[in-house]
Amino acid sequence: MDEILKNSPSMLRITDDTLVLILAGGRGSRLYELTDKRAKPAVYFGGSCRIIDFALSNCINSNLNRIGVVTQYMAHSLLRHLQHSWSFLPRERNEFVDMLPARQQLDDSTWYRGTADAVYQNCDIMKSHYKPKYVLILAGDHIYKMNYAQMLLDHVSSGAKCTVGCIEVEKEKASEFGVMGVNENLQVTDFIEKPKNPPTMQGKPDTCLASMGIYVFDADYLYSILDQEFAKPESNHDFGKDIIPQALKEGVLYAHPFSRSCMGRNPQGEIYWRDVGTIDALWEANIDLVTEHPQLDIFDQRWPIRSTPKQTFPSKFFYKHLRKTRALDNSLVGGGCIITDAIISNSVLFDHVVAKEGSQVEFSVILPEVTIGKNVVIKRAIIDRHCNIPDGMEIGVDLELDARRFRVSKGGVVLVTSKMLGKLKQETEQQAKKAYKAEP
């Protein structure tokens, strides 16, 4: 962050007057079984982090230390992570990471019905307790580095009531986003939510300007527009479908290009932002980290990504028979792992992974506390936490077989969970019993 900007009285006043709300209640259904027991923001990433750590780290690095995390779906692991990893901010300085789970504020049957409703149901708390002048609303499920303070400064300088973060995307991918048009002052002139035929940018026929799902509001305007929206019976209770179009209609909506505040560019100088909402996207973003020049630099301490500080023993690598072989290369390995005569290549291993003799792990992501038995082969896979891979099993070798036992993505990445392994073990035992009874 620019030191002059960081230390200017106006900037400090703006950040002190801002409440951050991170919307972290989504399931992430395209991750399938990986989010059966955890919300998408709680999914593991990069050998030591959870996805939500990026939004939270961006806040701390931007001097935004008044944060509420809005949760709903399968929130237990996310709440534990927040308690263990993000409870260090000093309350006496009015700094905090508060948890705002769905509480059926309206009645005993109404949970959060959309992104806007998740904020609306917390408005009373915001008005009576937090009392912000500005509200920054973030999604908790994207991988990127961003200086939110710059976006806040642009919001205040423009005179906007609402500012939306935007990013340039290829036209063929734009139908997944809200797409906008802007004038020379970055005032939004058009906004279409997830259009089938998205309009392109002027002079860039293959590129669209898309919403990142990041919003800054003047707090009083946010309360007012949410009250109006709640009164409409036909409302979707969604920012992209309802609130942003209304702000556009009122002429108070401005855009903030991500290029102005991006703090994590790739080696070519291009901005880095990823939605790791599919198995393939999650695998690709993780495997990118072990390349020679990764698109995302997780070691850059100028904009650090914080996570759970774990006290583990060092990882142990013991080789009796593979001393002349490249048994470990191009990989990230977390603490407390024990690798014995196993080949680990182009992979990300989280903490407390055990890999036994004769096993091979290639181009794979192994989540915490996984045990890999002897002579196991794992290729192009994501192995979920607490899996115990039995001796001799092959994963990622025969995708037709894998599709019957596990989940295989469109890109050929195999997802394995402990539940799948338990079901496979039960089926194998039943088949063995039938075969034994059938013997003469």
Contact between 194 and 210 (Cβ < 8 Å): no
Give the Cβ contact number of residue 407 at 10 Å. Answer: 17
Q: Which of 111, 10, 20 is nearest to 61 (CA)?
A: 20
Copy the structure tokens of residue 284. 């690709």
Ordered alpha helix ranges (H), 293-417: 399-405
Kindly state the DSSP code that residue 243 receives in the 8-state scheme.
I
Helix, strand or coil for residue 272? Answer: coil
Copy the structure tokens of residue 401. 């077989």
Annotated binding-site residue? 324: no
Type of residue numbered 259: S
Annotated binding-site residue? 211: yes
> How many angstroms separate the CA atoms of 45 and 387, rounded?
17
CA angle 258, 259, 262 (to 5 degrees): 75
How would you class 430 by CB atoms within 10 Å of its CB: exposed for 0-12, middle for 13-18, buried for 19 or more?
A: exposed
Q: Which of 252, 12, 18 is nearest to 133 (CA)?
A: 18
> How many angstroms separate the CA atoms of 70 and 347, rounded?
33
CB burial of 119-155 (b: ≥16 within 10 Å; e: otherwise) equals bbbbbeebeeebebebbbbbbbbbbbbbbbbbbbbbb
How would you class 406 by CB atoms within 10 Å of its CB: exposed for 0-12, middle for 13-18, buried for 19 or more?
A: buried
Copy the structure tokens of residue 274. 């990823």
Annotated binding-site residue? 112: yes
Contact between 23 and 69 (Cβ < 8 Å): no
| Torsions phi, psi for 218 (to 5 deg) | -65, 130
> Which residues are annotated as part of the binding site for alpha-D-glucose 1-phosphate?
112, 178, 193-194, 211
> Which residues are annotated as part of the binding site?
112, 178, 193-194, 211
